[in-house]
């Protein structure tokens, strides 16, 4: 059944999500941006782009939060994007105010609507949104680790010379420098990564460390190339995949940033962990047993996330 996607932020990621929704015939789009002209212009451009496509839904600009009432899912990309040399953390102060405003607007217009947060610094933004909106924590999910995992899989696929779709993995923890690609839970069609490397090409084991580093830096690598703005195709695809998993009750196993109250030893912070996503949003937080080195890396990530979020409390 066709759904209505409310996109808060009609910039690079919001505009790309809108196009994906229309291209794939997933439903209708409402574009909301503090720059109303941007939302109106993109809505017109997209409407005309798909005027000849019978399967495409409608797209229009929303002038107020009230216009978003009845949306099936909200995806938030509003805020400042990272500039070259700027860390996600430096974005915190600016985007926290934006997020709290949006949370209050949505709490009135569409209470408890399924919400995917994309704005950085991601984990802190999910936390701010939850506190300011009062939404059910199972209905608010940060999109980051699906993207970090895709990036890890892409680099690994290059290293191993296999199709990235044959690699299964989770990157958990903060969406930032301390994220933890779980080597222990990475496999090539069921064969654990380390066993695969030992059997096929042990010389590549050395290169794994650099690959983990490149994954942690993958967003910044793109920012450095672009000079203006940050990655948007992959974040758009990731956010839409998570929304669809919930709307279609896919029971998708994927990592996302959610409120943790004791899971993985984290308390009252949001951070990415493996989830099962279905019609109720977060249907389960999956607790994986981790080897000592990954547990230690996750603890570092928890501390970094807490340091970001605690001043906001």
Nearer to ligand APR, 118 or 197 (CB): 118
**In a 3-state reduction of DSSP, which class is residue 131?**
helix
Two tokens at 30?
């409402």
Rounded distance between C-alpha atoms, residue 208 and residue 18, angstroms: 36
Nearer to ligand APR, 34 or 279 (CB): 34
For residue 1, what is the DSSP state?
A: -
Rounded distance between C-alpha atoms, residue 230 and residue 261, angstroms: 31
Least spacing, CB of residue 82 vs ligand APR, in Å: 5
Q: Please pick, among 55, 168, 170, 175, the residue that the annotation labels catalytic.
A: 175
Q: Give the phi and the psi of residue 285 in degrees, each rounded to 5.
A: -100, 120
173 neighbors 180 (Cβ within 8 angstroms)? yes
Does residue 175 have an active-site annotation?
yes
Least spacing, CB of residue 236 vs ligand APR, in Å: 8
Least spacing, CB of residue 247 vs ligand APR, in Å: 21
DSSP string computed for 134-186: ---GGGEEE-SHHHHHHHHHHHHHHHHTS-GGGEE--EEB-SSTT-EE-GGG-
Least spacing, CB of residue 96 vs ligand APR, in Å: 11
Rounded distance between C-alpha atoms, residue 48 and residue 54, angstroms: 12
Nearer to ligand APR, 223 or 260 (CB): 223
Question: Could you list the residues that contact ligand APR (CB under 6 A)?
Answer: 8-14, 33-35, 38, 77-79, 81-82, 95, 98, 101-102, 118-120, 229-230, 232, 235
Rounded distance between C-alpha atoms, residue 56 and residue 101, angstroms: 31
Least spacing, CB of residue 198 vs ligand APR, in Å: 37
Least spacing, CB of residue 94 vs ligand APR, in Å: 9
Nearer to ligand APR, 97 or 158 (CB): 97
Which segments of the chain does DSSP mark as H helices, in order?
Answer: 12-23, 36-49, 92-109, 122-133, 145-160, 193-200, 208-216, 218-226, 233-247, 292-309
Rounded distance between C-alpha atoms, residue 201 and residue 16, angstroms: 39
Rounded distance between C-alpha atoms, residue 176 and residue 303, angstroms: 12
Nearer to ligand APR, 118 or 183 (CB): 118
**In a 3-state reduction of DSSP, which class is residue 82?**
coil
Nearer to ligand APR, 145 or 186 (CB): 145
Q: Which residues are catalytic?
A: 175
């Amino acid at each position: 059944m066709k759904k209505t996607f409310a996109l808060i932020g009609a910039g690079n990621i919001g505009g790309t999500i809108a196009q994906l929704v229309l291209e794939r015939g997933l439903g209708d789009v409402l574009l909301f941006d503090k720059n109303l002209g941007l939302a109106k212009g993109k809505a017109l451009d997209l409407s005309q782009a798909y005027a000849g496509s019978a399967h495409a839904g409608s797209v229009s600009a929303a002038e107020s939060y009230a216009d978003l009432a009845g949306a099936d899912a909200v995806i938030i990309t509003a805020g400042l994007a990272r500039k070259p040399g700027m860390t996600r953390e430096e974005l915190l102060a600016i985007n926290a105010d934006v997020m709290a405003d949006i949370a209050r607007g949505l709490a009135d217009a569409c209470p408890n609507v399924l919400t995917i947060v994309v704005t950085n610094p991601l984990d802190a933004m999910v936390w701010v949104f939850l506190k300011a909106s009062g939404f059910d924590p199972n209905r608010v999910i940060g999109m980051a680790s699906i993207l970090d995992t895709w990036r890890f899989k892409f680099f690994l696929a290059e290293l191993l010379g296999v199709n990235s779709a044959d690699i299964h993995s989770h990157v958990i923890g903060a969406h930032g420098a301390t994220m933890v690609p779980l080597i222990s839970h990475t496999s090539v069609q069921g064969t654990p990564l380390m066993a695969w490397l030992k059997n096929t090409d042990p010389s590549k084991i050395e290169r794994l460390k650099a690959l983990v580093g490149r994954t942690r830096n993958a967003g910044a690598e793109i920012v450095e190339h672009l000079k203006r703005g940050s990655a948007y195709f992959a974040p758009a695809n990731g956010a839409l995949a998570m929304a669809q998993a919930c709307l279609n009750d896919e029971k998708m196993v994927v990592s996302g940033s959610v409120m943790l109250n004791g899971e993985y030893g984290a308390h009252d912070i949001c951070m990415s962990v493996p989830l099962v996503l279905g019609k109720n949003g977060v249907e389960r937080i999956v607790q994986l047993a981790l080897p000592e080195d990954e547990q230690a890396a996750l603890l570092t990530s928890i501390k970094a996330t807490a340091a970001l979020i605690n001043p906001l409390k």
